[in-house]
Amino acid sequence: MDKIFLNQMRFYAYHGAYPEENRLGQRFYVDVEMKMNLQPAAATDDLEQTVNYGQVYELIEREMTQTKVKLLETLAERIAGRILDHFPVEEVRLRVTKPDPPIPGHYDSVGVEIVRKRP
């Protein structure tokens, strides 16, 4: 199956289990990979036969910045579901990363990755 992807989208948002995350906010990165047959779009050179990257970005941006949730798992699930609802893709792989979570330790980042398929 062919893939469309948007990588390292950056957002400042207010998601997290700790009160300071909801009050102060923090950076998030989102990667999305969408599987679908791209041959019709390639053959016709028609945007209507594929996924508009700008619309995907806008959908993700709205979910990242206009809602607040405690868990990255919840956030990823909502975004993946909305992509499947709004675009003709067969599968979505979504990764949400927090580069600076307020937890002790030494690491580059923390995050979640989910895969959701059309039923």
Residues noted as catalytic: 98
CA–CA gap between residue 49 and residue 38 (Å, rounded): 8
- One-letter identity of residue 13: A
CA–CA gap between residue 41 and residue 63 (Å, rounded): 27
Burial class (CB in 10 A: 0-12, 13-18, 19+), 15: buried
Question: What are the CA-CA distances from residue 34 to residues 18, 30, 100 (Å)?
Answer: 31, 13, 27
